[in-house]
Amino acid sequence: MSSAPPGLRRTALYDRHVEAGAKLVDFAGWEMPVQYTGVREEHMAVRESAGIFDVSHMGEIETSGPQAVELLQRLLSNDVAAIPPGGAQYSVLCREDGGVLDDLFTYRLEVDRFLTVTNAANHVADLAWFEGNAVDFPEARVSDRIDEWAMLAVQGPLAREMVQAGADSPLPARMTSETRRIGGIEVLVCGTGYTGEDGVELLCSPGQAPELWDQMTRRGARPAGLGARDTLRLEVCFHLYGNELTVERGPIEGGLGWCCKEDTGFIGAEAVRAAREAGPAEKLVAFTIDGSGIARQGNPIAGGGEVTSGTLSPCLGIGIGMAYVPAERAALGTRLEIDVRGRSRIATIAAKPLVPKR
């Protein structure tokens, strides 16, 4: 393996990406595959059969000990105490003013042991936030686990079948996680994903990740890059941190009030409660472009608002996206005029998800 460019890290699957002809780019300080054969082909493979993503750039923080639940209740917006052992939960990490620092998945591995997956660009800051708040909970331990896990996502209607073929027992259900042996490799199998399709995320030691990748590709899972990951999540209107979620806006504006349980007393709970009670000034909406053209992040909308994400939908064959607009202009069917590099594009607010999740 050649050395990584200065300032970039590589996952344990770098050689597999090179062998598969991936186009590699800098993503949050990691040299990652943006595509292999093409975004559309990889996208449709996930929708129609199964794709495999290297998401080992994501971070992992372990929280353990008698006060682990108390610490996580303070940090995370959802009700951590409600996660059963082997369960999974989505939440956001907020500042006192309600601004979103990150969105996270937390897995309860044991009664007093949790694994929280962070976004790659936010991992260092998230870890510092966890550690800084842990000083008030002396019986809670916070540990950085980013170097101890590789993470593969196998997604699509045939994904579970492909993974199950090598597993020693039935795979865990959606929103649960359990350890399995897959082709002799010990894997934490998590029934979560970011595509709108069924599937699992597989966490294993970095040294065993290439063999696990090879098992999945031999069974027909097609390598898919960050480009397809983005078009897939946008069709089902999943948030991307830095686009739909930022410190400038809270979870209520972003439509994530469902994962906020203010009574748990998490950091930012009072600001979130106030926004919920008053109603947000802006709302996050999905839209489709009428005619040709694609809107992009930052494109302004006449009358107020801006696009947060936009792409050409491989499934729908039209431009789609998400945007923040004034709350009074957020009704379904509302027409939007988007300035795309000086050219006006007309869009219509549409129901989420834009492509039904399965």
Q: Residue 144: what pLDDT?
A: 98
For the record, the structure tokens of 33 come out as 């595959």
Q: Does the residue 138 lie in any domain? A: no
Q: Round to whole Å and give the CA distance between 356 and 338.
A: 25
Q: Within its chain, how far is the Cα of 41 from the centroid?
A: 21
pTM: 0.96
230 and 297 housed in the same domain? no
214 found inside a domain: yes
Q: Which domain holds residue 29?
A: 14-56+149-234
> Does residue 251 have a cis bond before it (omega within 30 degrees)?
no
Q: Which of 234, 260, 291 is the last residue of a domain?
A: 234
Residue type, 130: F
Cβ pair 118, 61 in contact under 8 A:
yes
Q: Which one, of 130, 89, 106, lies nearest residue 258 by Cα?
A: 89
Q: What is the b/e burial string over 98-136, where b = at least 16 CB atoms within 10 angstroms of the residue's CB?
A: bbbbbbbbbbbbeebebbbbbbbbbbeebbebbeebbee
Task: Quickly list H helices, the chain.
Answer: 14-19, 39-48, 68-75, 123-134, 159-164, 209-218, 226-235, 269-278
Structure tokens at 245: 């979620």
> Is pLDDT of 56 > 70?
yes
Per-residue pLDDT band for 4 (boundaries 50, 70, 90) equals confident
Euclidean distance between CA atoms 238 and 222, whole angstroms? 22
Model confidence at 22: pLDDT above 80: yes
Residue 85 belongs to some domain of the structure: no
Give me the pLDDT at residue 5, please. Answer: 78
**Domain harbouring 348, CATH code:** 2.40.30.110
Whole-angstrom Cα distance, residue 22 to residue 8? 17
6 falls within a domain: no
Residue 224 vs residue 6, higher pLDDT:
224
Which string of b and e fits 40-79 if b means at least 16 CB within 10 Å?
eebbbbbbebbbbbbbbbbbbbbbbbebbbbbbbbbbbbb
CATH of the domain at 197: 3.30.1360.120
Q: Could you tell me if residue 80 is inside a domain?
A: no
pLDDT tens digits for range 264-304: 999 999 999 999 999 999 999 999 999 999 999 999 999 99
Q: What is the mean pLDDT of residues 152-157?
A: 98
pLDDT at 115 over 80: yes
- The identity of residue 154, as a single letter, is V
Indicate whether 159 and 223 sit together in one domain.
Answer: yes
- Whether the per-residue pLDDT at 232 is higher than 90: the answer is yes
Are 290 and 223 contained in the same domain?
Answer: no
pLDDT digits (tens, 9 = 90+) for 308-346: 999 999 999 999 999 999 999 999 999 999 999 999 999
CA distance 123 to 51: 25
What CA–CA distance (Å, rounded) separates 119 from 131?
17
What torsion do the CA atoms of 138, 140, 141, 142 make, to the nearest 10 degrees? Answer: -110
Q: Which of 196, 258, 167, 207 is nearest to 46 (CA)?
A: 196
32: enclosing H helix or E strand: strand 30-35
Confidence of residue 240 (pLDDT cuts 50, 70, 90): very high
Where a domain ends, among 219, 234, 249?
234
AA letter at 88: A
Structure tokens at 2: 């050649």
pLDDT value of position 23: 98
Number of domains in the chain: 2
**Predicted pLDDT of residue 320:** 98
Average of per-residue pLDDT across 51-76: 98
Inter-residue contact 272 to 252 (CB < 8 Å): yes
**Cα distance between residue 124 and residue 130, in whole Å:** 10
Res 357: pLDDT: 74
